């Protein structure tokens, strides 16, 4: 007969192992066709605003809902920057603004994902733009996960925002002359599809 204490120990180990499996982090791949890092920046004299987006991007999200932790990494193709104005698109890619020949990509990598209840409420991380890395905190205005109606897997979506000063990233074209300051509002709409679980080995 197995001693009662050994039975209890075995049961505790089994429960612990089961809990660890349930609480394992889940991974998601950014759906680039439904993810748009967008921006708003002052035009001449601040009388109006440029609005645009980065058309090509990729990345990954990891969520551990039990531990209230996660990570986010997004890569943005700066050659796909789109102001909705062809001449501005061409100028923005030149070396006096984003210099995409030298810095073709921008990245955002989280250092901390903050939960309020079961939803992400903010993300702390580092933005690398124009070869310069600075801390940027994103406020997550909306966060939701649902079963995807077509892929039959969970999909999560979020709307996030932040304000940066582009001069801190070495992008100071026009600031202090035709443009009052370098403030840029970032608005990021993102969807990420849960990765398929690997089959039995």
Q: Which residue has the tokens 């440029």?
A: 50
Residue 21 or residue 135, greater confidence: 135
The reported pLDDT for the residue numbered 85 is 94
Domain CATH for 47? 2.40.128.110
Q: Which residue has the tokens 């020949």?
A: 101
Q: How is residue 98 written in tokens?
A: 């984003």
Examine residue 59 and state whether it is found in any structural domain, yes or no.
yes
Mean pLDDT lowest among 6-20, 55-69, 137-151, 181-195: 6-20
Give which of 30, 52, 33 is closest to 41, Cα–Cα. Answer: 52
Number of structural domains (the chain) is: 1
Convert the pLDDT of each residue in 86-107 to its tens digit. Answer: 999 999 999 999 999 999 999 9
Examine residue 183 and state whether it is found in any structural domain, yes or no.
yes
* Contact in structure between 57 and 35 (CB atoms under 8 Å): yes
Query: DSSP letter at 179?
Result: B
Examine residue 200 and state whether it is found in any structural domain, yes or no.
no
Query: Residue 111: how many CB atoms within 10 A of its CB?
Result: 12
Mean pLDDT of 104-127: 97
Q: State the pTM of this model.
A: 0.85
Examine residue 155 and state whether it is found in any structural domain, yes or no.
yes
Domain residues for 101? Answer: 25-194
The reported pLDDT for the residue numbered 24 is 83
Examine residue 180 and state whether it is found in any structural domain, yes or no.
yes
Examine residue 31 and state whether it is found in any structural domain, yes or no.
yes
Examine residue 72 and state whether it is found in any structural domain, yes or no.
yes
β-pair type (49-54, 81-82): antiparallel
Examine residue 36 and state whether it is found in any structural domain, yes or no.
yes
With H, G, I as helix, E, B as strand and everything else as coil, classify residue 175: strand
**C-alpha distances in angstroms, 144 versus 3, 15, 80, 148?**
48, 30, 28, 12
The Cα–Cα gap between 95 and 98 comes to 6
């Amino acid at each position: 007969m197995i001693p009662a204490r050994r039975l209890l120990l075995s049961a505790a180990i089994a429960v612990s192992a089961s809990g660890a499996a349930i609480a394992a982090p889940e991974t998601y791949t950014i759906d680039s066709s439904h993810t748009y890092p967008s921006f708003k920046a002052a035009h001449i004299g601040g009388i109006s605003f440029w609005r645009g987006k980065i058309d090509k991007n990729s990345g990954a999200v990891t969520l551990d809902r039990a531990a209230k932790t996660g990570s986010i990494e997004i890569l943005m193709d700066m050659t796909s920057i789109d102001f909705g104005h062809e001449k501005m698109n061409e100028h923005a890619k030149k070396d006096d603004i984003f210099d995409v020949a030298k810095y073709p990509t921008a990245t955002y990598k989280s250092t901390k994902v903050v939960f309020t209840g079961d939803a992400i409420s903010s993300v702390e991380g580092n933005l690398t733009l124009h070869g310069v890395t600075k801390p940027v905190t994103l406020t997550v205005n909306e966060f939701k996960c649902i079963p995807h109606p077509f892929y039959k897997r969970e999909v999560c979506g979020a709307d996030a925002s932040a304000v940066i000063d582009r001069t801190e990233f070495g992008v100071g074209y026009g600031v202090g002359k035709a443009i009052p300051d370098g403030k840029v509002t970032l608005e990021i709409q993102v969807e990420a599809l849960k990765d398929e679980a690997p089959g039995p080995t």
